[in-house]
Amino acid sequence: MLPTQSSGAGQFAKLDLSRLPSPCFVIDEIKLTENLQILKDIATAADTKILLALKAFSMWSLAPLINDYLAGCCASGLWEAQLARKYFSGELSSFAPAFKPSEIEDIATLSSHVVFNNLGQHQAFADVARKYGAETGLRINPQHSEGQTAKYDPSMTGSRLGQPLDQLMQLDLPDIDGLHLHNLCEQGFAPLARTVAAIEPYLAAQKGRFQWLNLGGGHMLTQPDYDTEALIALLKRLRADYEAQIYLEPGTAIAFDAGILVGEVLDVTDNDGPIAILDISATCHMPDVLEAPYRPALLNETSEDGVNVTLGGPSCLAGDVIGTYNFPNMPKPGQRLAFLDQAHYSMVKTTTFNGMKMPSIAIWNSQTDDLKRVREFDFSDFERRLS
């Protein structure tokens, strides 16, 4: 979930931000389609199935488009599984660090595969999953770290995610249909290749036993410098060597550079330098800015001589600060701004802390300039959360 730097303003430089409510997430359906086509081409060339990770991008109004390109979805729990079956097509792989007994029957009914986090969860629920028609999988922890930040590294020491590989080497596995692993975070091909090398002794020892191998997410397949040819060669080899269907489940790659978050300057003040207060909150609308942390790119930011202005949100949190940016002139109240590459994770992690209004959602076509508002939030959305 560590945000990847946007490759640039691109198509959004043409969008008239005054046409939008503020704040507002805007998805360019043309850029999204371009990303989806890249993924479909990889899947076809490598005889691999690519699933949408709903935890990163679950904008179901775009499901008809996504359904034309991907093999299905992966869900992190019951609600995502229900969303997948209601709006998306294809296969559904469900994984959670632990399943609730009260939900496992519904999850199994909805899912093509249920992936268990460890052998204890498999022992508790595998029979239920099979009873309702789902294949069963086991998440393994390759004990090989590629993460750049510990809290985003599923293979860090003491991780709760996956059955450690060294334990599996010493055990006789129960009947399991497939293996799942995930230890990347918005990374290129080389970390995947090293991870595969780390698990291949185990795969070789179990050759022919598993029907599928899911290599998880974190693959930045739509970033321009991704080594697609090397990926395709690796995936084809794995399928041939281990006689298993290969899956990938990217999240960020699907909506990479396909969305922005538009906001408005509310006030400009000064405290050891100029500060602009926006109607966009880092803590409420783009929490990875604080959690990762990282500095999101700003549309049309100048690198030339100008004025450096700290941009912050309207919440009461003292640390609700997005970053410092260079402007040719001092921003003014009412001025519109847009942060780049905000479609993945930001959209699904918004909150109403401080009674903050969640950003509206719009779809834009960068070829025709058509703009459609698909969701606006009001007081009732805040009211329904608590009673």
C-alpha 111/C-alpha 23 separation (Å) is 35
Asked if residue 180 lies in contact with residue 140, where contact means CB atoms within 8 angstroms, the answer is yes
For residue 293, whether the previous peptide bond is cis, meaning omega lies within 30 degrees of 0, is yes
Helices 189-205, 228-242: crossing angle, 10 deg rounding: 10
Tell me: is residue 288 an annotated ligand-binding position: yes
What are the tokens at 277?
A: 């207060």
Question: 276-304 in b/e burial notation, b at 16+ Cβ within 10 A?
Answer: bbbbbbbbbbbbbbebbebebbbbeeeee
What are the tokens at 350?
A: 């918004």
- Phi, psi (deg, nearest 5) at residue 289: -60, -35
What are the tokens at 349?
A: 């992690």
Question: 92-105 in b/e burial notation, b at 16+ Cβ within 10 A?
Answer: bbbbbeebeeeebe
Q: What is the DSSP string of 13-44?
A: GGS-GGGS-SSEEEEEHHHHHHHHHHHHHHHH
Least Cα distance to 317 among 285, 268, 353, 289 occurs for 353
Question: 138-151 in b/e burial notation, b at 16+ Cβ within 10 A?
Answer: bbbbbbbbbbeeee
Known binding residues for substrate:
288
Known binding residues:
288
